[in-house]
Amino acid sequence: MQLIDQAKDHRLFLEHQTVIEAARVLKQSLPLSNSLESILEKVFPVISQAEFGVVMIWDQASGLFRPWASFGCDPIVIKRVGLRAGESITGKVYEEGIPIILNSHQELDRWMENMRPGNYSILSRSVGHEFKNTCIIAAPISVTAQKFGVLIIESFIEGHQFQQGDIPFVQAMADLMAIAIDYSRQVARADIIRQTREAEQLRSEMIATLSHELRMPLTTIKGYSTMLLMDEVQWSKGQVDEYLHLIDEECDNMQSMIKGILDSSLIDVNQLSIDSQPLHIENIAHQVVNEIQLQTASHRLIVDLSSSLPTVFGDPRWIKQVFRNILDNAVKYSPSGGLIVIHGEVRKEDVVISIADQGIGISPEDLIPIFEKYYRVKNNHTRTIPGTGLGLPIARAIIEVHGGRIWADSKLGQGTTVFFSLPILNIKPDPQVLPGESKPVDFDPCGDEEGTRT
């Protein structure tokens, strides 16, 4: 009698210690599957007859229970199990929400009779023999009204039996698992809320910047057109021409800002479709330079590109846009005028184009962020220069889609050189992997198979 009491005390002590150790796992902020794995393996030294265990979690997206942790089997093979709602012991215990203990073949067969053969054979493969269990304890994993899944502990050895007294311990371990799952879902939810808030904040900052930038030319247009419409003032022909000229210039500014916003929204949704063809880069450069030279008398634009540059492969519409965005900046950020030189260099696999100006320059810490959306350098020189922070990110997206790279070099007060590379025609660019392309697919291992294991 004393021996039995001692054994009971020892078992209670062991359970107590194990629950404390399992609770410690919750404080370690491990990935969820590692926490579940770690709690599950602690069950086995306490319930000595147990040989196999699995944590089945309901996955709303696939409509299946999936193993998140396992013990006593091949962890890779068992991952293929997918039980439907109501299927086998997992399905039933999840629905009923109370733990069960099954110690006879008749009972086990009855509870497992609707397990689909595909799942049965995966389970058999995972344990390395027919999945013929002799006893099971299954405990629901849930917190308050939220159900997550089921913890299953089994043995395959003839004569093994679990005790009613094992249930409170297994349920306590399932409850700790439920806390781990609940916590990890709360953290995931909090992350989504934080990201949404950040995105909203960025969006409102961006709208504020764009509205401000668009208001500047609009204010000028409104001011000059109101002046021209004043009946009481007689404007000379020269003054009218000058004001109309200024209005025209500001309309161009607004047009290019709106184009930038539209191009950038194409990039956001990966809609930048390119229609590539063999290109002579020097022709494109000349066309854009002629356009831009018309807008400025204080800058001299020089195309120093040889007509023997190798042919590249690209969409002329978008490559022109790259030249336009970089040359616009070269003019805009050289307020005292100067030379702007386009140069080309042939390398083994690509052509590198450089566009150098003699403007205000960019400090080293800004050379990388200027290619990020809406980034604008803030200093006394740039304060009065209009812009949206979209020109370079758009150029970068275009160049990267073409398999090239873009970067900048600069010295404050001395000028900036922007470089971009384009692969030479007969050299295939690396295919661009767009975000979201390699989404894993959830599958039901048994497909539409309706049969049961018997």
Which residues here bind ligand ADP, judged by CB under 6 A? Answer: 325, 329-330, 333, 357, 359-362, 370, 375-377, 382, 387-393, 416
Question: At CA 267, angle to CA 188 and CA 369, rounded to 5?
Answer: 75
Q: What are phi and psi of 227, to 5 degrees?
A: -60, -45
Residue 390 Cβ vs ligand ADP, minimum distance, rounded to whole Å: 6
The Cα–Cα gap between 63 and 442 comes to 10
Is 281 or 360 the residue whose CB approaches ligand ADP more closely?
360
Is 120 or 333 the residue whose CB approaches ligand ADP more closely?
333
Is 395 or 446 the residue whose CB approaches ligand ADP more closely?
395
Residue 295 Cβ vs ligand ADP, minimum distance, rounded to whole Å: 15
Residue 396 Cβ vs ligand ADP, minimum distance, rounded to whole Å: 9
Is 22 or 362 the residue whose CB approaches ligand ADP more closely?
362
Is 55 or 370 the residue whose CB approaches ligand ADP more closely?
370
The Cα–Cα gap between 331 and 340 comes to 8
Residues forming beta bridges with residue 343, ordered by sequence position: 304, 354
Question: At CA 86, angle to CA 161 and CA 108, rounded to 5?
Answer: 20
Residue 194 Cβ vs ligand ADP, minimum distance, rounded to whole Å: 27
Residue 429 Cβ vs ligand ADP, minimum distance, rounded to whole Å: 24
Residue 448 Cβ vs ligand ADP, minimum distance, rounded to whole Å: 53
Is 321 or 329 the residue whose CB approaches ligand ADP more closely?
329
The Cα–Cα gap between 269 and 13 comes to 59
Residue 217 Cβ vs ligand ADP, minimum distance, rounded to whole Å: 13
Residue 257 Cβ vs ligand ADP, minimum distance, rounded to whole Å: 8
Is 127 or 370 the residue whose CB approaches ligand ADP more closely?
370
Is 140 or 415 the residue whose CB approaches ligand ADP more closely?
415
Residue 201 Cβ vs ligand ADP, minimum distance, rounded to whole Å: 20
Residue 205 Cβ vs ligand ADP, minimum distance, rounded to whole Å: 14
Is 91 or 389 the residue whose CB approaches ligand ADP more closely?
389
Is 250 or 357 the residue whose CB approaches ligand ADP more closely?
357
